[in-house]
Amino acid sequence: MFRNIIIKSNCLKITKAFKCTISPKDTELPKVSGFAQAFEKFSEPTPPNTTPVSTPQKSFATLLRNSKFMDLGDPEGKIVVGKIFHIVDNDLYIDFGWKFHCVCPRPTQNSDRYIRGASVRLRIKELELSTKFLGSDKDLTILEADAVLLGLVDKK
């Protein structure tokens, strides 16, 4: 598209009394940038026979029912592996890949092995600690999960 315009504009510069002849030098196309190439490629309409075949739309309920999120089941009591990402005094902040992290006390036995980056096993109690405080009508969350620290993950 752009290349045709450039060649035509060169022909228009030649006086109308003479025929427009294109020399091999004129047919050498200028190097165009990646944006110009992409614009040229996608500005032309696509042929009607190359339109993708549309798949039938599924309802939200069907998508949710068949999602991996629903396959998780009830997380209460499940044992998961987490990683210690922060330590404050004797509190270990552990990320286990769910919505919120959990805070567990550092065990007294082998406490020097519970360092930042260590992998630990946890038993989930609740994924979100929320409750109604002081007669409030709405639940208030403290943005933490409740879990029990079971120990370090052995790397064998």
28, two tokens: 């050498």
Length of the chain: 156
User: So what's the pLDDT on residue 97?
Assistant: 84
User: So what's the pLDDT on residue 40?
Assistant: 82
Structural domains in the chain, CATH included, are 2-45 (no CATH), 69-152 (2.40.50.140)
User: So what's the pLDDT on residue 17?
Assistant: 47
For β-strands 102-105 and 91-95, DSSP reports them as: antiparallel
pLDDT by residue for the chain (156 residues), tens digit each?
444 444 454 554 544 445 555 555 555 667 778 888 888 888 877 666 665 667 788 899 888 888 876 776 788 888 989 999 999 989 999 998 888 889 999 999 988 999 999 999 999 998 887 776 666 677 666 788 889 999 999 876
What are the φ and ψ backbone dihedral angles of 42, each rounded to 5 degrees? -95, -5
Please state, as a whole number, how many other Cβ atoms lie within 10 Å of the Cβ of residue 24: 6
If you write DSSP's letter for every residue of 1-21 in order, what string do you get? -HHHHHHHHHHHHS-TTS---
User: So what's the pLDDT on residue 152?
Assistant: 93
